[in-house]
Structure 1
Amino acid sequence: MPMQHMLARWAAAAVLAAVAPLASAASTVLTFDALTEVDYLPAGYGGLDWSASTWTSFDGSGAAYAPHSGGTVVTLGWGATDADSLVRFGQAVTFEGAWFSGYTEGDVTFKLYYQGALVGTSATLAASATPSFLASGYAGLVDAVSISSTGHAFYAMDDFTFTTAVPEPETYALMLAGLGAVGLAARRRRA
């Protein structure tokens, strides 16, 4: 490969690396309100991988399972384990937390994972009939989260919240300007 092509590729990579930190964050809140039937949560719901879990959606307007927003919540069944609550993200995200309601036996704690390693554990929240937010307490990147509890059937979850990086328009403008400069430099070298 000619030297000018190698330099052009190196410069393009340097431009991309320089503009990557200019990305902003986009917060996503999964409300589960698009689910209208009592059923297992679809494996790809909200763009996440719920396939290792046994979450069930239902109308939370009765008893102690009050939704934080809308009317639908998700829960795990009797005999569920922490492994049954696992949710995988398609990319590394910052997990903010979720809202929980239920009975006092439904204490919940987040376990946060990145590349298979446990990287964070939240505080413990005792569920009540009034929805309460459980923050992850971890600002780093994660690619999976599970809920640890001694009574999985005693709580319901709503408004599952996480943040992904989304490039801003200025990022694209800088990247295009940098690539144009690299192309111009390569063209001048040839001439």
Structure 2
Amino acid sequence: MRRLSFAVLCALAGVTAHAAPVTSLPGATTLTMPVLNYFGAGPLNLAPGVDWSSANSNSVFGYGDGYGFADNGRWSGLTMAGTNDQSSTMTLAFSQAVAGVGAFFNYVPVYYGPATIAVYDATHTLIESTTLTFTTNGGQNQGEFHGFLESAPSISFLTMSGAYIGATGFAVQAVPEPETYAMLLTGLGLLGVAARRRKA
């Protein structure tokens, strides 16, 4: 018997995949950023099948020499990617869609307002976005982890925009956790019971 993919099962059940904003991704793989101290727009390879690029020709990638976020503190010793601009966007592109993605972020809220992160599918259709509004105590290596998690691997792009946003510790969850499959199967079972009752 052939196995149906998670996405096909969702489609058969009439379930639309939807990404939830998350502040952790248990079981995810953390991608190690190379130390390059690169200034430019890329694209550059972060990991096999994962490329980084930016709309700003002065963005940083694999940068570890220290980076300030005004009142939100300073990063030192954290190899990072950053827009290095108040309004530019940088993008992670995945050759194979993933179910979850996130990173440890900081930005400059005082002068430039909030920063935004978003995920898109392979057709560049927006799946979900969230606005970063946190502030820190202004200390060293402060920030927060933010990301997105879906019930199926359909995230092909992560964008990070505005307010001198910086990111490190990118994490990826390639496939849904087993608990997600269990919830789907339970949902499909309930749909089957409801369908049988209607026929009766």
TM-score (norm 1): 0.58
The residue type paired with residue 30 of structure 2 is V
Counterpart of 1:66 in structure 2 is: 75
For structure 1, list consecutive stretches of 5 or more residues without a partner in the other structure: 1-13, 167-191
Counterpart of 2:117 in structure 1 is: 110
Question: Of 94, 100, 119, which aligns to 1:95?
Answer: 100
The alpha carbon displacement at 1:30 in A equals 2.4
TM-score (norm 2): 0.56
Could you list the per-position Cα deviations for residues 96-155 of structure 1 after superposition, in whole angstroms to 9, with x for gaps in the alignment?
321112422362222111132111112433454422112336555311111232x2xx33
Counterpart of 1:29 in structure 2 is: 30
- DSSP-derived class of the 2:97 partner: strand
The residue type paired with residue 165 of structure 2 is Y
From the two aligned structures, give the one with the greater helix fraction: 1
Distance in 2, Cα, partners of 1:96 & 1:78: 23
Judged with a 3 Å threshold, the aligned counterparts in structure 2 of structure 1 residues 127 and 98 are, in CA distance, closer, same or farther, namely: farther
The alpha carbon displacement at 1:43 in A equals 2.0
For structure 2, list consecutive stretches of 5 or more residues without a partner in the other structure: 7-25, 177-200
Judged with a 3 Å threshold, the aligned counterparts in structure 2 of structure 1 residues 49 and 96 are, in CA distance, closer, same or farther, namely: closer
Which of 1 and 2 has greater Rg? 1
Residue 66 of structure 2 is aligned to residue 56 of structure 1: no
Does the 8 Å CA contact 1:95/1:136 hold for their aligned counterparts?
yes
Judged with a 3 Å threshold, the aligned counterparts in structure 2 of structure 1 residues 61 and 139 are, in CA distance, closer, same or farther, namely: farther
Root-mean-square deviation over aligned CA pairs? 3.2
Q: How many residues align?
A: 140
Could you list the per-position Cα deviations for residues 22-41 of structure 1 after superposition, in whole angstroms to 9, with x for gaps in the alignment?
xxx96221242x31434446
Does the 8 Å CA contact 1:112/1:121 hold for their aligned counterparts?
yes
Could you list the per-position Cα deviations for residues 58-102 of structure 1 after superposition, in whole angstroms to 9, with x for gaps in the alignment?
2254543426xx5211111336523xx122101110233211124
Judged with a 3 Å threshold, the aligned counterparts in structure 2 of structure 1 residues 52 and 109 are, in CA distance, closer, same or farther, namely: closer
Distance in 2, Cα, partners of 1:137 & 1:60: 31
Judged with a 3 Å threshold, the aligned counterparts in structure 2 of structure 1 residues 71 and 59 are, in CA distance, closer, same or farther, namely: same
The residue type paired with residue 157 of structure 1 is A
Distance in 1, Cα, partners of 2:117 & 2:165: 13
Does the 8 Å CA contact 2:35/2:64 hold for their aligned counterparts?
no
Counterpart of 1:124 in structure 2 is: 132
